[in-house]
Amino acid sequence: MNKPASVPEQFDAVVVGAGFSGLYMLYRLRQLGLSVRVLESAGDVGGTWYWNRYPGARCDIPTTDYTYSFDPELEKEWTWSEKYATQPEILEYLRFAADRLGLRPDIEFSATVTSSRWDEPEKRWTITTDGGQEIRCRYYIMATGCLSMPKSPDIEGAGRFAGQVYFTSRWPHEGADFTGQRVAVIGTGSSGIQSIPLIARQASQLTVFQRTPNFSIPAHNGPAPADRLDRLAEDRDEYRDAARWSRGGVPIDPTDILGGTASEAVRRERFEAAWAQGELFGILNVFADQGVNPASNDIVAEMIREKIRSIVTDPETAEALCPKDHYFGTKRPCLDTGYFETYNLPHVQLVDLRKQPIVSITEEGIETADESFGFDAIVYATGFDAMTGALVGVDVAGRDGLSLKEKWVAGPSTYLGLMTTGFPNFFMLTGPGSPSVLSNMTVSIEQHVDWVAGCLENMRDEGLETIEPTALAESGWNQHVQDCAAITLHPTANSWYMGANVPGKPRFFLPYIGGVNAYRQACDEVASQGYLGFRLTGPGQDQCRDGIIRRMQPDVAMVLEFMAAAGLPPLETLSAADARALLAATAEASPPGPEVGEVTDGLIPVPSGDLPYRLYRPAGPPEGPRPLVVYFHGGGWVLGNLDSDDPLCRDLCARSGAVVVSVNYRHAPEVRFPAAALDAFAAVQWADANAIELGAIPGQLAVAGWSAGANVAAVACQLARDAEGPHISGQLLICPVVDSDMTRPSYTENGAGYILTTALMRWFWDYYADPADRGDPRAAPLRGNLEGLPEACIVTADFDPLRDEGIAYARALEAAGVPARLVRARGHTHTSVTMVGVVISGAPVRAEIGEALGDFFPAP
């Protein structure tokens, strides 16, 4: 029912789409007393479940969880018939919900939004539909779904085929009958994998064209899972709450078992249990580290490949069906019913497009590099322009005519996946940068809708008219989304999560992988902090609390949470002996760091006695001497030893290709200032004099250290300069202590909560040096003469009390004519960069450090 274009209708809000998200949004907006119009291009409610009617289409989240949870009454009135419901049943459910909640009067069907523009003076959106209708509204909400814009066929000759053509994503309402037909299916994603077994039942001949084999596990469909039903019956609210605060939106017990350290029996048992259970979040939870650790992932992947080989009788077909070019989970895994078994049927053939690519679609069928196939029907199961396609598919013009498509040309940019700068009052439900497709959609949808409703309610109560994220908040969120992805294996895959399935689409990890729980927490904090990162305006009002909601690297935050949960006592409350024991226990439990060629321990004879050292020699060529790095461990001159920094030394050795000699200098309180610094200098002199014996190139020596170790390394450089030798090629100072002034802003900002605290630093200083000595350049090298020192690489971390003195040292060195490279470890703490094998986001920083170390020496 299209209205004449002349008089724009006015609504408080327009919602585009009447699927799961649009329907609930409408319900919530109505509750707020807003006037709403939902525009839906389909002829009925249902969204994805309206369009995707292909045979075998089902949800792959158990129906106990793939359901609205906002209304207990609604829940009571609907009973799902099976664990994974069919498309008709889910569509029926959404119809039932729309009717039960009386939503239909506010929905206009067969109305496709073609364009929309923001009118700044009026502070309203004007929405235009394909019928020429214009609607004006204050709030414009896209409930358009993540997988709703089919990917256009990108195969040569696609329009030429004379037979029947079907798209899984636009299946005819009357269905398709393939009885007696020769059918081709192109694509083996979820849609292909669900439909192929059913198409095979009808077709006289089925040929599947596979470009990338996909991981799939049996759905084991049947009655809804009894354990979940029991939990729901016992305490529905508790169960739903557990889902809301879970990682994926379905309650599971996250494992802490690591693939690498689990026994073969445990690995097998966990995998078989997940295989038998047939749930996505089960098979993604075999090991805690399978999403981030290639070796752990390989264990799960290989077990799935074993299953495929055991099901498919023809070995060549089985091998072609085994995914090998991506890590398990980095492309969306599938649940199937008899998928692999289908290839055992005599009339079903698999064509491996990696071996024989499609050359063209012809009038009669499909021509590959090796063969010509004749077909009566071709089914495209080729996927979607995911997450952004439906949003930029509408011509959306924000402030000053800014087009969404143009703004996102290099990839989507959002704040919380909910809004984007330049587009006031424009909301996206499950947009890019939110968990959406990585989660149980129904849980994520309800969270988004509730957040938007809460936001609009707040605006109404405060008399505000517009809301828009700031550029800072948005870029901070984009960074966080990418940081979360970067520590996983996901960016390695050519997946639709990465935009890799659509030719020309920027490669950009689209959803938020930090978890439904972490995401909800971030959204809640934004709201409770006065809508941090949003500008809100209204008559006589302009509010903005600008800021970034998540600046810390996600794995660093996890480590801090883990340590807080472990309830360890603050080191500064312990005696030196107890603190050392605690640190030794931590070192014992830490991953070992990378393999190196050779590790030997020895003693350095210095005037004060023998200092233990450990030498690390890189593996592999070239044979012969290498540059030498003398390394000093961290620990505030009180703690630490050769073991505490062993993984870091291995890492430095492996990355730089230098021989690393780690020196255990004497510690306070037993021996106080300046013993540690003098030991360091003596060790450097010894290493220089014994370079040949150490397998090093004479004259190519650098020093390195972390924290207090960086302090003594920096001091050793000053002492060597003053003594006119030995020659030091460079100094690598990781989060160094270079001053005893504890008043810099980083001490205020980061003085508590990030492991190295102001109190702990005070504890270290008190053990190490008398207050009168703390200004001595051998304690505070920043206060010394910096001229003529070796070039430096200084690493500082955002959440380190020592950050600002590290930066000050780099600047002071530069001012004294000493080249100083400053590496800023974004989102890191004082300790996290050094946590080899624990904090994955530290690896790129250490790669940069390794490169800097290499640069100290002449090219080999």
Give the residue, chosen from 122, 154, 306, 670, that forms a contact with ligand N01 under the rule CB under 6 A: 154
Draw the binding track, 120-149, toward ligand N01 (x: CB under 6 A; -: no contact): ---------------------------x--
Give the residue, chosen from 192, 197, 329, 781, that forms a contact with ligand N01 under the rule CB under 6 A: 192
CA distance 589 to 646: 12
Sheet with 164-167: list strands edge to edge. Answer: 164-167, 377-380, 182-186, 205-210, 348-352
Q: Under rule CB under 6 A, which residues in 377-406 are in contact with ligand N01?
A: 381-384
Tokens 């063969």 correspond to 371
CA distance 109 to 50: 12
Give the residue, chosen from 496, 754, 768, 857, that forms a contact with ligand N01 under the rule CB under 6 A: 496
Give the residue, chosen from 64, 129, 181, 188, that forms a contact with ligand N01 under the rule CB under 6 A: 188
CB of 63 to ligand N01, least distance (A): 11
| Beta carbon nearer to ligand N01, 129 or 190 | 190
DSSP 348-368: EEEEETTTS-EEEE-SSEEEE
Give the residue, chosen from 14, 18, 23, 59, that forms a contact with ligand N01 under the rule CB under 6 A: 59
CB of 82 to ligand N01, least distance (A): 13
| Beta carbon nearer to ligand N01, 155 or 576 | 155
CA distance 215 to 118: 44
CB of 148 to ligand N01, least distance (A): 10
Draw the binding track, 634-653, toward ligand N01 (x: CB under 6 A; -: no contact): --------------------
CB of 780 to ligand N01, least distance (A): 57
Q: What residues have CB less than 8 Å from 174, skipping those under 6 apart?
A: none
| Beta carbon nearer to ligand N01, 215 or 665 | 215
Give the residue, chosen from 211, 666, 672, 824, that forms a contact with ligand N01 under the rule CB under 6 A: 211
Give the residue, chosen from 44, 60, 555, 646, that forms a contact with ligand N01 under the rule CB under 6 A: 60
Query: Which 3 state secondary structure label does DSSP give 773?
Result: helix
For residue 198, state whether it binds ligand N01 (rule: CB under 6 A): no
CA distance 313 to 305: 13
Query: Which 3 state secondary structure label does DSSP give 209?
Result: strand
- Identify the bridge partners of residue 14 per DSSP, sorted by sequence position: 37, 140
CA distance 405 to 398: 11
**How many other CB atoms are found less than 10 A from the CB of residue 134?**
17
CB of 439 to ligand N01, least distance (A): 11
| Beta carbon nearer to ligand N01, 194 or 297 | 194
Residues in the chain, how many? 860
| Beta carbon nearer to ligand N01, 47 or 726 | 47
> Tell me, what DSSP letter sits at residue 771?
G
For residue 83, state whether it binds ligand N01 (rule: CB under 6 A): no
CB of 436 to ligand N01, least distance (A): 10
Kind and range of the H or E element at 684? helix 675-689
Give the residue, chosen from 212, 337, 466, 757, that forms a contact with ligand N01 under the rule CB under 6 A: 212
Q: At what angle do helices 646-656 and 843-855 cross, to 10 degrees?
A: 60
Q: Tell me the residue type at 590.
A: S
Query: Which 3 state secondary structure label does DSSP give 262?
Result: coil
The region of 96-104, 183-191, 258-266, 341-349 touching ligand N01 under the rule CB under 6 A is 183-191
For residue 442, state whether it binds ligand N01 (rule: CB under 6 A): no
**How many other CB atoms are found less than 10 A from the CB of residue 242?**
15
Q: Under rule CB under 6 A, which residues in 292-351 are in contact with ligand N01?
A: 332
Tokens 């996505």 correspond to 280
**Degrees (nearest 5) of the Cα angle 323, 327, 329?**
95
The dihedral through the CA atoms of 373, 377, 381, 382 has a sign that is positive
The closest of 454, 509, 457 to 486, measured between CA atoms, is 509
> Tell me, what DSSP letter sits at residue 384?
B
For residue 444, state whether it binds ligand N01 (rule: CB under 6 A): no
Give the residue, chosen from 32, 101, 155, 671, that forms a contact with ligand N01 under the rule CB under 6 A: 155
CB of 742 to ligand N01, least distance (A): 52
Structure tokens at 415: 């704040």
Burial class, 185, CB count within 10 angstroms (exposed 0-12 / middle 13-18 / buried 19+): buried
CB of 497 to ligand N01, least distance (A): 9
Q: What residues have CB less than 8 Å from 235, skipping those under 6 apart?
A: none
**Closest residue (Cβ) to ligand N01?**
189
Q: How far is CA 586 from CA 581, 596, 724, 739, in A?
A: 9, 22, 40, 28
For residue 423, state whether it binds ligand N01 (rule: CB under 6 A): no
Kind and range of the H or E element at 309? helix 294-311
Give how many residues touch ligand N01 by CB under 6 A: 26
CB of 532 to ligand N01, least distance (A): 31
Give the residue, chosen from 353, 402, 587, 808, that forms a contact with ligand N01 under the rule CB under 6 A: 353
For residue 194, state whether it binds ligand N01 (rule: CB under 6 A): yes
CB of 410 to ligand N01, least distance (A): 22
Q: Under rule CB under 6 A, which residues in 729-758 are in contact with ligand N01?
A: none
CB of 56 to ligand N01, least distance (A): 9
CB of 190 to ligand N01, least distance (A): 3
CB of 216 to ligand N01, least distance (A): 10
| Beta carbon nearer to ligand N01, 93 or 140 | 93
CB of 181 to ligand N01, least distance (A): 21
Q: Please report, as ranges, the residues that interact with ligand N01 according to CB under 6 A.
A: 58-60, 147, 154-155, 168, 186-192, 194, 211-212, 332, 353, 381-384, 437, 496, 501
